[in-house]
A and B are shown apart, each in its own frame.
Chain A
């Protein structure tokens, strides 16, 4: 695959690895958080940790949109789909997320709920056009990457007068989650949880640009390097972070310059601003309530807002007590530190948020890396 294989070249990876090893100061350690699930997946899938020196530790952040979706919202979605005459259109990776009462969307489907898997918001619109007798609700989740397509769907529905289409909006914002982690007591109380720098989001940054991260670099003095999702992108970003830390810099740098600009995608930003506004607070699974961290549909589009249309109220549902996802998401613990990991909590029977999607820290470690635990223990 042209333009992709080049970023997966094993020979180049070894060259980069040796340079990172040479540049990393053996007298110190480097704690780097990759925010995005896409990075977590790439790191595990390509075995990047194997190529790094021991004093560089990667911390898997909360950037998996499926993982951070609170149980209460999945419960809402299931209730909607169980309703008479409602078709719920969902992204594939939401299907297995466990909800209350042992249910998930895939199990609800087996019990008669009308759940259709889609790969885009446009497909949800098509279902609405083809089923005028049904209410079609698009279960919109994701960070800034999937938000513009949802806005486009709502605007198209309005233009077409598609009265049976609505959106159950669960879009969340990356910068507020990063701020939440940086504000957490473990990170602020210096020395408890070292967090030296961030590998910044790839696809999210194509939309929002690199500017929103400048605040973190300045305010919290943490370097951010925006990186693509290919393994060489990640390694190059690690090298750039190591350099910044060695030189005492805390800047926003852009490794993913082939797709990300400082300003981002203005057209997409305008679309999002037209349809959505900030929520005062939103629950993140694993992080709890995070202020100004999510979007809702503006009142002038209330007709397409499923929350408004169906009077949806979300009840908070506590995570299992044994689950350490919150601590894992903030880098306080690693997957294997959790008693539930690999015993009662597996990708087939996920209990915590980090195990529900292949991009979650626990699922990635279980699926690709748990042989290391077997060797170690």
Chain B
């Protein structure tokens, strides 16, 4: 499709808003794609203007992951839905020990959404992808009527390649294994909550949103036989450990004293009656490996800026009930259970 730019008024990114024509397949949509998405993501596949992207993959097994992003507020301390949608899917691919290569991006826009905000989000995605060395090679845009969306929803799908000999999977945790986390827990969830509830005392806490594939590459280079990797996003560390315990058919015991949590995050959770163990992260990973590899992995993680505060937090053991338990800093022992529904603030 050729657009004679001389006869088209450029998209008004300053004052314009998304309307139904931007999703109708007509000229307005083509113009938005060209002036916004193709310009920002800037790669040969999008420039080819096909409905697909065609590429060759290096040798190895292909890893694919998808993630839809519906965060509110769209802009939060430390990030926005744009970079989050890139990091989230890159991390899902990376948790197989894979190198992420290509992304797709699907947008559902709500009629009336300011184009200035959309441009901010798309530029943030472009920046995140560039930094990660991953190309956004194909995409889609739909518009829903006002009131039927929440500004913008973004789905991203990622493809990567994992070398032979690396077999990282949630069902490989074994009794005796050690459990590591890559850094401070709960920053993202608290930053979002602070933004949503306008909690001024929580200022200064920013989302940890980040692409973890380089940290993973460093870890795999040191210890190819990592058993499990997973990013503790929704539901936090507690949910992730419960998922792995069930998948692997094991129990776990973690030490509260060894959990890295910022004091500000603890304070906000305390105030709202929440538990940092259940609060979302977007730039952290949980790693489970054989005991003899734990120290080497910890050192590799700490050598990476995204793993500076990494810690060994516990161990895997046999347990027919698949309980995740925690030795409390207080000296007692308790279950770290699945979350019941959403975590809600307590009144007492």
Task: Please give the residue numbers on chain A whose beta carbons come within 8 Å of chain B beta carbons, in ascending order.
Answer: 1, 4, 8-10, 13-14, 17, 36-38, 41, 44-51, 64-66, 91-93, 95-96, 106, 117, 119, 141-143, 145-146, 203, 231, 347-348, 357-359, 363, 366-371, 374
Contacts and interface: CB of A to CB of B under 8 A. Distances in A.
27 contacts: A1-B266, A1-B267, A4-B270, A10-B329, A10-B330, A10-B331, A14-B331, A45-B334, A46-B332, A47-B330, A48-B332, A49-B332, A51-B330, A92-B344, A92-B345, A92-B346, A95-B344, A96-B344, A357-B346, A358-B340, A358-B346, A359-B348, A363-B340, A367-B335, A368-B334, A369-B334, A370-B335
Given A13-B331, A119-B197, A371-B323, A36 B348 contact: yes
Interface in B125-144: none
A371 B341 contact: no
| B interface, size bucket | 20 to 34
Nearest to A119: B345
A371 to B, nearest CB: 5
B237 to A, nearest CB: 16
**Interface-centre pick from B263, B332, B335, B346 (highest chain A CB count, 10 A):** B332
A51 B335 contact: no
Given A65-B347, A371-B321, A13 B330 contact: yes
Interface of B: 197, 257, 263, 266-267, 270, 272, 321, 323, 325, 328-335, 337, 340-341, 344-348
B186 to A, nearest CB: 14
B328 A47 contact: yes
A51 B332 CA distance: 7
A50 B327 CA distance: 11
Contacts of B325: 371
**Interface-centre pick from B266, B272, B331, B347 (highest chain A CB count, 10 A):** B347
B298 to A, nearest CB: 24
Contacts of B332: 46-51
B197 A44 contact: no
A106 B344 CA distance: 12
**Interface-centre pick from A13, A141, A368 (highest chain B CB count, 10 A):** A368
Nearest to B272: A119
B346 A359 contact: yes
Given A96-B341, A106-B341, A8 B346 contact: no
A93 B345 contact: yes
A117 B348 contact: no
Contacts of B323: 371, 374
Contacts of B321: 371, 374
A50 B335 CA distance: 13
Given A1-B270, A65-B348, A8 B330 contact: yes
A66 B273 CA distance: 15
A44 B334 contact: yes
A13 B347 CA distance: 26
Q: Which 3 A-B pairs have the closest CB atoms?
A: A47-B332, A92-B344, A347-B340
A356 to B, nearest CB: 10
A374 B325 CA distance: 13
A14 B331 CA distance: 8
A8 B345 contact: no
B330 A368 contact: no
**Interface-centre pick from A13, A46, A91 (highest chain B CB count, 10 A):** A46
A71 B194 CA distance: 33
Contacts of B347: 65-66, 91-93, 141-142, 145-146
A50 B328 CA distance: 11
A358 B197 CA distance: 22
Contacts of B328: 10, 45-47
Given A45-B328, A51-B330, 7 more contacts: A1-B266, A47-B331, A50-B333, A91-B345, A93-B344, A93-B345, A146-B347
Contacts of B267: 1
